[in-house]
Amino acid sequence: MNSQSKPDFVEEVELRGHIIDSLLLPKVLDTITASGGTFEIRHITVGTNRNDPSHAVLGVYADSQAELDELLAQISDHGAVPTAGQDCRLVEADMDGALPEGFYSSTNQRTEVRLNGKWIELESQEMDCGVVVDVAKATARCLPMTDIRRGMQVVLGHAGVRVFPLERIDTAHSFSFMNSSVSTEKPKRVVVQEIARNLLANRNGPGKSLLVGGPAIIHTGSGPLVSELIQRGYLHKLFAGNALATHDIEQSLFGTSLGVNVQDAQIAEAGHEHHLRAINRIRRAGSIAEAVDTGVLTSGIMHDCVAYDVEYLLAGSIRDDGPLPDVETDVLVAQRRMRESLAGVNFCLMVATMLHSVAVGNLLPAWVKVVCVDINPSTVIKLADRGSFQTVGLVTDVEPFFRSLLIELDALEGAS
Amino acid sequence: MNSQSKPDFVEEVELRGHIIDSLLLPKVLDTITASGGTFEIRHITVGTNRNDPSHAVLGVYADSQAELDELLAQISDHGAVPTAGQDCRLVEADMDGALPEGFYSSTNQRTEVRLNGKWIELESQEMDCGVVVDVAKATARCLPMTDIRRGMQVVLGHAGVRVFPLERIDTAHSFSFMNSSVSTEKPKRVVVQEIARNLLANRNGPGKSLLVGGPAIIHTGSGPLVSELIQRGYLHKLFAGNALATHDIEQSLFGTSLGVNVQDAQIAEAGHEHHLRAINRIRRAGSIAEAVDTGVLTSGIMHDCVAYDVEYLLAGSIRDDGPLPDVETDVLVAQRRMRESLAGVNFCLMVATMLHSVAVGNLLPAWVKVVCVDINPSTVIKLADRGSFQTVGLVTDVEPFFRSLLIELDALEGAS
Amino acid sequence: MNSQSKPDFVEEVELRGHIIDSLLLPKVLDTITASGGTFEIRHITVGTNRNDPSHAVLGVYADSQAELDELLAQISDHGAVPTAGQDCRLVEADMDGALPEGFYSSTNQRTEVRLNGKWIELESQEMDCGVVVDVAKATARCLPMTDIRRGMQVVLGHAGVRVFPLERIDTAHSFSFMNSSVSTEKPKRVVVQEIARNLLANRNGPGKSLLVGGPAIIHTGSGPLVSELIQRGYLHKLFAGNALATHDIEQSLFGTSLGVNVQDAQIAEAGHEHHLRAINRIRRAGSIAEAVDTGVLTSGIMHDCVAYDVEYLLAGSIRDDGPLPDVETDVLVAQRRMRESLAGVNFCLMVATMLHSVAVGNLLPAWVKVVCVDINPSTVIKLADRGSFQTVGLVTDVEPFFRSLLIELDALEGAS
Amino acid sequence: MNSQSKPDFVEEVELRGHIIDSLLLPKVLDTITASGGTFEIRHITVGTNRNDPSHAVLGVYADSQAELDELLAQISDHGAVPTAGQDCRLVEADMDGALPEGFYSSTNQRTEVRLNGKWIELESQEMDCGVVVDVAKATARCLPMTDIRRGMQVVLGHAGVRVFPLERIDTAHSFSFMNSSVSTEKPKRVVVQEIARNLLANRNGPGKSLLVGGPAIIHTGSGPLVSELIQRGYLHKLFAGNALATHDIEQSLFGTSLGVNVQDAQIAEAGHEHHLRAINRIRRAGSIAEAVDTGVLTSGIMHDCVAYDVEYLLAGSIRDDGPLPDVETDVLVAQRRMRESLAGVNFCLMVATMLHSVAVGNLLPAWVKVVCVDINPSTVIKLADRGSFQTVGLVTDVEPFFRSLLIELDALEGAS
């Protein structure tokens, strides 16, 4: 491609906000050139101070309409909106469980569609969905393709859609700006304090706090610490799998004291029987709640969820033993239940589980604060890769993390 | 506990085979003392040569019958059988979907139960199951607790059950003896050659070869190499998830040449639309097979599975987008289908997937040869931890691994 | 701090070049606010096309002169230069082996100092050094603090110093822009081809290619592949430690065939004697070169370095056994010898060694192309963290990497 | 090789002790067959109780005298001693700095050599050394090859040498028996308590406690916790490198409060100047001790080492900036100084440094207790690989580890 002469296919787009220091403009320019397009900066106003917004108008050029459309789709996710105003294009879904070809694919950022000249915010926001519009009510929402039903009005293409990428608002909390490598060597107390502040705010306010946890919580001896968080009202919801619940119940049923638990951990090979017997005993009781009611289960995280009215969702996986009777074995049903349960959640703590963390991360809008804690940097990196400025990774050991968190909560409670 | 005076509860057990150099005796002695028991070696005959079996009779002591039973349960998994001969104890299952308390919990090692004085080998062998006996037909088999139905005869406790742990037969192939740490620094060609030998033997013989694979197969550009394995008849079955199939199909539908594929990989953020559109297109076609039949899908691993009649099973997980219409979204159904499909499989290659590898590992008897390939040592360690002498871990990069494998297969084919 | 009223301490700075899409401007703005300063954009001209440079003039504000100086120091490394023209400040070093307080600390980017109104480029560029000026000759160079001698003229502060950060020139090669996480899941062939192109260019041209390697090169069986690179003229210099050389020589002296080498790798515990005996035999010969001359050493990487006149430098570490007589045991002397040897090197391949890679990375100017290959992502991340746009990380297995590299070199040679 | 007819070359060896449950006999049998030899168990007595020693006499066969010698050398390290009594063979060293061919290569296990019919224990024990005998004084000691001087009497071969491998004494503390994979998921409190017990015992007794530490101690904010350990008398020696000391001093000189330190950690790129200025300031002072004396350095780990008389050794590496004037830049001199300083050390805590941990591990006899703490499992695995039953790996986060350790020490002090 000769970069001197402009290609024939062009569209004018604009960006607003902190487009320079929040990297939106550089990202858009990079996306254009990385995809083989070119650009021309037609107009730019840069805010003179940190808090002044900027504004840029670009001409975007590509060699074909298809390339241009692809390019516009990509930069639209970074907030670049065509200047030519037009309504979104709608088409009727022609079958159940699938979207029409050319559907608009959603992001996890706040999004509006233009309907009869008016911009309407989506009622639910979730990445990798179609957008379904109720023209009569002038409402729109994200809907996963499996839930599409014939006759629904679906948005096609990027015309009439605008995305508002989250901007970094507060440098004090910009843990990871320009620094996406996850270090195991940094002081972590600020992050733990920030988590504590969020949990406390939600205990006292309307927001809900969600723990997404893996079985290492139990293996590392952190079960009693999570129980304390539940008992003190800091957790409203728990998403986990069969393994966390099983090991928690196994420890409650077969452990007797810390010394013995630790001893058990040593001779883990023999543990598999306890583990199966624990599942079996709950299956015999009917459910975790019934096991609590009948006195079969008297302690542990799952017990406390029942006793303190913490909503829990156990999602199945193909590696499950048993599973426990409460486990939702159909993954699509589990996704739907998670989606419903996430309404109201504004803080999410993900601990020691890649599978459940990614699954929940897929469902969350970008503005929900997420902290991902794992001793393995690769889990944290994977989560952060799909993240927003609100996603913080913490590479640390699970048990001391929860211990520190309780200490910070004590300090905050004492101070308030 | 005073180690001088023997505790009151005692049982005599015996071990046979290469109990010293295959570590069975040391393991049994260690298990006894680690669990707080004591032992007395009443009789020992050690084979004078490498190929002569040994024999040991031990007295096992514990402080209570419960501790003794626990101990016997543990060492029974290493092949230590009570000398006092007795039939297995049976009890009728009192409800659907759960085992009676005290059930015998199976291992993945070859096992026999004694019925009317005769030892009967289990018809299927799988860890973490109950054992169900058909007294009339004098047969027994492993059955997961969810499949138990009221009225079935279930084995209780370890009496009348004997386990035959796999022994190391061939030092030349004992990759990991006494050396469970997984090194990234060792020459790997021997292992690749061994895999090639197994694949070739199964192509020419009755045994079936199974590939359990993760999406990194596609991300690393190994798709065409796996396709070649399929086309040359080296793979009979494929177990994977929605991600592998989706990315494979996405590459087939949206990639055009290697340069462009690679370019795509660079700008992965934009890839999410392709990925969703690929799923959607297959959903619109009805299934992968229908997409092949109607010419929508014309290349790639999934295409070749259809074209070359390789049985595939796509198991769902909560992190799935879509999913593809072929994905089995109920994890219990997926487990059952895997279990059935595993009959006849005697060689299993697990590549770049923790979830599916552990799930399949849970279902396999110990004598099926397994090689687990991953660039991440922790996946390999996790698999090897549940392993037998037949499980080999290979920490290496996926794409060059498949390339080397094809070179070794060429060499073997040329030589034969 | 009240962000409405400007702090009292201010300096005007300017930036030139591709300051938006190469992220210089965002980095500078972020650095200012992250350090508690504020800014005002006084003037900005953004290039309308991809190849047009931009220009920005900022007012930088801080609460004290000390904070302002600190701030200016930091943003100066990203190319922000005070608009007020002034010569660099010089002070005489008052002692050997240490710099005067307030010394200018160098980066690895191209740098000029202003002397008598003229900008002079530094003769050598190395990070973390002082800058010494010869006023009479109007020359300046980087010098590590240990080499400072009393009476030298040393640059103080950032006044009269300007830095030219590398800009991304060529999107086709921008492997890592906006994407610093190191993936193990990407197609790697493009990177291997790029390495091959660089090695070939240097074989045919004046540039020198340096291999910095760890002992895993030998452990993985890659020794013969590196030997082939040497024999074909692709490597001009080798930096390594005692371990690589020792294991290479051990394999040459004690291995007999591939089968046996592999067998040896299996029983590594016994290998420690071979390893020591190898070192001892070279010590008895006097040096590696004498061992080659007297026929003690007849093959392997070190042999080939001697035979094909590849300059090698073995730097000592406290974990060395022996060491070999060629090892430079004083780390400061080793650094000085590396520094001298790096003149002329314009391509550097770092394989499987954290220690040596970081050491060499510290000495290299930013414009030398570096590729870091390791199966462990953390080594690659660590290198990339200190990197420039020219540093590429490749997470892959060492032996297949070298095999692929030779294949790509064959293809390039065939094509040319 | 036909395993039915015995090869011609044979030697009778014996083993004593807990040879079955401490795995010595299995290891010896495995080593023999893995190396292509065969064995015959001529006599075996197995202790009937846990505390009774066993005794075995084996015939070891190989196809050539060279193979047999190699085999005997290997199994001798596991305590298998030829039954035919003979003195050790001595030869005069023929040159400085190298051992005679065929030298006996030492292990880190307790070892005796037979001189004039009497068994003499080595005065110092260190792996990978030669053994030098003073015939007149009837003494022997390990000596690294660089320290060999012409005329010394050096032991050749394995005749007249016997090794006493450490046996597992106490199951309650056998953290890792039969379980060499290092888990991040186990309860760790027992290990921390054990470390606390050892530190307390050494504070009150004659044994010395050594900390071998990396710079992550400072980066993670653990500096004040280590200072507290020093101030309370729990650490007697510190081995580290330039990086730990530099970052500690940088924090002391340039940090002002926790908030600011943490802030600094965020903007680490700018930190490099502080880091260099810290080194420079100490170089200007002459040494760390002089900087303490003159009031330049008033806090931190290095300050406290000076103030509380903790011996420290800073060993150089090629990646060092500066370095600090106290750094020993010659690695051979550093090794000698470490060797001398290790006399009296019976407990060693290695934290977050691969290089220094392996270096010190190489110098320690097997009976010194070592705990290796790192968030990266590969460091811990590498250490444990060369370990004895006394080496414990702890995969955890550094800062919470030290915090837990201080809590356990408080509890122990309170209890005593």
Residue A388 has pLDDT above 60, yes or no: no
Distance from CA of D171 to the nearest CA of B (A): 6
Distance from CA of B47 to the nearest CA of D (A): 7
Q: Does C378 lie at the interface with D, CB-CB under 8 angstroms?
A: yes
Closest Cβ–Cβ partner in A190, A220, A396 for D262: A190
Helices and strands per DSSP (H, E), number in chain C: 14, 17
Closest Cβ–Cβ partner in D265, D266, D375 for A184: D375
Q: Does B385 lie at the interface with D, CB-CB under 8 angstroms?
A: yes
Residue B101 has pLDDT above 50, yes or no: yes
Closest Cβ–Cβ partner in A185, A220, A403 for D185: A220
C-alpha of B47 from chain center: 32
Tell me the pLDDT tens digit for each residue of A33-44.
Answer: 777 788 887 777
Q: Does D25 lie at the interface with B, CB-CB under 8 angstroms?
A: yes
Taking contacts as CB-CB distances below 8 angstroms, the residues of chain A near D220 are 184-188
E-assigned strand segments in C129-218: 130-134, 139-143, 153-156, 161-164, 208-213
Vertex B252 angle, CA B247 and B254, to 5°: 85
CA dihedral B99, B100, B105, B111 (to 10 degrees): -100
Distance from CA of B171 to the nearest CA of C (A): 11
| Residue ranges of B 114-153 with Cβ closer than 8 A to chain A | 127-128, 145-146
The model's confidence at residue B376, banded by pLDDT at 50, 70 and 90, is confident
pLDDT at B67: 86
**Residue of A77, A126, A262, A331 best to disrupt the B interface, most CBs of B under 10 A:** A331
Residue A6 has pLDDT above 90, yes or no: no
Q: Judge whether B57 and B7 are in contact, CB under 8 Å.
A: no
Residue D201 CA to residue B388 CA, distance in Å, equals 42
Closest Cβ–Cβ partner in A185, A265, A401 for D220: A185
Which one is predicted more confidently, D269 or B355?
B355
pLDDT at A259: 28
Which residues, at least 6 apart from C233, have a Cβ–Cβ distance to it below 8 Å? C203, C308
Considering Cα of B64, then B65, then B66, then B71, what sign does the dihedral take? positive
A273: closest CA among C180, B161, D76, B96? Answer: B161
State pTM to two decimals. 0.85
Tell me the pLDDT tens digit for each residue of A271-325.
Answer: 567 889 999 999 999 999 999 999 999 999 999 999 999 999 999 999 999 999 9
Question: How many inter-chain contacts (C to D, CB under 8 Å) are there?
Answer: 144
Residue A213 has pLDDT above 60, yes or no: yes
Which one is predicted more confidently, A275 or A356?
A356
Taking contacts as CB-CB distances below 8 angstroms, the residues of chain A near D404 are 400, 403
pLDDT at C272: 64
Which one is predicted more confidently, D382 or A340?
A340
Burial of D28 (0-12, 13-18, 19+ CB in 10 A): buried
Residue A264 has pLDDT above 90, yes or no: no
Nearest residue of D to residue A174, measured between CA atoms: D266
pLDDT at B256: 34
Q: Does A23 lie at the interface with C, CB-CB under 8 angstroms?
A: yes
For a pLDDT cut of 90, what percent of chain D falls above it? 55
The reply to whether residue A48 touches residue C33, judged by beta carbons under 8 angstroms, is: no
**Residue of D279, D319, D364 best to disrupt the C interface, most CBs of C under 10 A:** D319
Closest Cβ–Cβ partner in C127, C280, C325 for D99: C280
What residues form DSSP beta bridges with C60?
Answer: C11, C39
The reply to whether residue A38 touches residue C49, judged by beta carbons under 8 angstroms, is: yes
pLDDT at C3: 43
Distance from CA of B331 to the nearest CA of D (A): 26
Nearest residue of B to residue D21, measured between CA atoms: B26
Taking contacts as CB-CB distances below 8 angstroms, the residues of chain B near A331 are 316-318, 320, 329-331
| Residue ranges of A 154-173 with Cβ closer than 8 A to chain C | 171
Which one is predicted more confidently, A190 or D176?
A190
Q: Does A269 lie at the interface with B, CB-CB under 8 angstroms?
A: yes
pLDDT at B50: 63
Q: Which amino acid is at C391?
A: T
Q: In chain C, helix, strand, coil percent, each to 5?
A: 40, 25, 40
The model's confidence at residue D260, banded by pLDDT at 50, 70 and 90, is very low
Q: Does D185 lie at the interface with A, CB-CB under 8 angstroms?
A: yes
Which of A13-17, A82-86, B162-166 has maximum average pLDDT?
A: A13-17
Q: What is the mean pLDDT of residues B245-265?
A: 64
Q: For A396-405, B308-317, C139-148, D65-74, which range has the lowest pLDDT when averaged over its residues?
A: D65-74
Distance from CA of A80 to the nearest CA of D (A): 30
In angstroms, the first-to-last Cα distance of chain D is: 64
CA-CA distances (angstroms) from residue D300 to D10, D180, D304? 62, 36, 6
Which residues, at least 6 apart from A378, have a Cβ–Cβ distance to it below 8 Å? B376, C377
Residue B267 CA to residue D221 CA, distance in Å, equals 37
Residue that the structure tokens 């330039």 belong to: D242
The model's confidence at residue A222, banded by pLDDT at 50, 70 and 90, is very high
C87: left (phi over 0), alpha (psi -120 to 50) or beta: beta
- For the structural domain made of B1-83, what CATH number should be given? 3.30.70.2690
The reply to whether residue A33 touches residue C50, judged by beta carbons under 8 angstroms, is: yes
Taking contacts as CB-CB distances below 8 angstroms, the residues of chain C near B375 are 184, 375, 395-397
Tell me the pLDDT tens digit for each residue of A70-125.
Answer: 888 888 888 888 887 789 999 999 999 999 999 999 989 899 999 999 999 999 99
The reply to whether residue B20 touches residue D20, judged by beta carbons under 8 angstroms, is: yes
The reply to whether omega before C365 is within 30° of 0 (cis) is no
Nearest residue of C to residue D73, measured between CA atoms: C270
- The mean pLDDT value of chain B amounts to 85
Residue D256 has pLDDT above 90, yes or no: no
Taking contacts as CB-CB distances below 8 angstroms, the residues of chain B near C186 are 219-220, 265
CATH 3.40.50.2300 applies to domain D85-166: no
Q: What is the mean pLDDT of residues B232-238?
A: 98
CATH 3.90.79.10 applies to domain C188-415: no
Which one is predicted more confidently, D386 or C9?
C9
Q: Residue B367 is encoded by which pair of tokens?
A: 């004598």
Distance from CA of B97 to the nearest CA of A (A): 7
C-alpha of D339 from chain center: 11
Q: Judge whether A43 and A14 are in contact, CB under 8 Å.
A: no
Q: Does C273 lie at the interface with D, CB-CB under 8 angstroms?
A: yes
Q: Which amino acid is at C5?
A: S
ipTM: 0.87
The reply to whether residue A177 touches residue C30, judged by beta carbons under 8 angstroms, is: yes
Residue C392 CA to residue A354 CA, distance in Å, equals 27
Taking contacts as CB-CB distances below 8 angstroms, the residues of chain C near A48 are 40-42
CA-CA distances (angstroms) from residue B353 to B374, B378, C246? 8, 11, 37
Q: For B104-108, B334-338, D331-335, which range has the lowest pLDDT when averaged over its residues?
A: B104-108
Residue B396 CA to residue B376 CA, distance in Å, equals 8
Question: How many inter-chain contacts (A to C, CB under 8 Å) are there?
Answer: 85
The reply to whether residue D20 touches residue B25, judged by beta carbons under 8 angstroms, is: yes
Distance from CA of B392 to the nearest CA of D (A): 15
Q: What is the mean pLDDT of residues D168-182?
A: 38
Taking contacts as CB-CB distances below 8 angstroms, the residues of chain C near B215 are 185
Q: Residue A293 is encoded by which pair of tokens?
A: 């009611």
Closest Cβ–Cβ partner in A3, A26, A34 for C26: A26
Q: What is the mean pLDDT of residues B251-261?
A: 58
The reply to whether residue B283 touches residue A355, judged by beta carbons under 8 angstroms, is: no
C-alpha of B301 from chain center: 23
E-assigned strand segments in C267-331: 311-315
Residue C36 CA to residue A80 CA, distance in Å, equals 30
Residue A153 has pLDDT above 90, yes or no: yes
The reply to whether residue A316 touches residue B329, judged by beta carbons under 8 angstroms, is: no
Residue C45 CA to residue C43 CA, distance in Å, equals 7
Q: Judge whether B162 and B111 are in contact, CB under 8 Å.
A: yes
Which one is predicted more confidently, B211 or B385?
B211
Q: Judge whether B59 and B10 are in contact, CB under 8 Å.
A: yes
**Residue of D50, D58, D174 best to disrupt the B interface, most CBs of B under 10 A:** D50
Distance from CA of D416 to the nearest CA of A (A): 20
- Domain spans of chain A, in order of start: 1-83, 85-166, 188-415
Element (H, E) at A41: strand A38-45
CA dihedral D346, D348, D354, D355 (to 10 degrees): -50
pLDDT at A104: 93
Please count the other Cβ atoms lying within 10 Å of the Cβ belonging to residue C170: 7
Distance from CA of A2 to the nearest CA of C (A): 12
Residue B386 has pLDDT above 70, yes or no: no
Residue D371 CA to residue D348 CA, distance in Å, equals 6
Residue D390 has pLDDT above 70, yes or no: no
What is the DSSP secondary structure assignment for residue D173, as one 8-state letter? G
Mean pLDDT by 10 residues, chain C (416 residues): 64 83 77 80 73 82 86 84 87 97 91 93 94 97 97 93 70 34 61 93 96 92 95 98 94 59 39 83 97 97 98 97 96 97 95 93 91 85 63 87 95 88
Which of A204-213, A254-263, B81-90 has maximum average pLDDT?
A: A204-213
pLDDT at C184: 53
pLDDT at C383: 74
Distance from CA of A267 to the nearest CA of D (A): 9
Residue D304 CA to residue D187 CA, distance in Å, equals 32
Q: Does C44 lie at the interface with A, CB-CB under 8 angstroms?
A: yes
Q: What is the mean pLDDT of residues D147-165?
A: 92
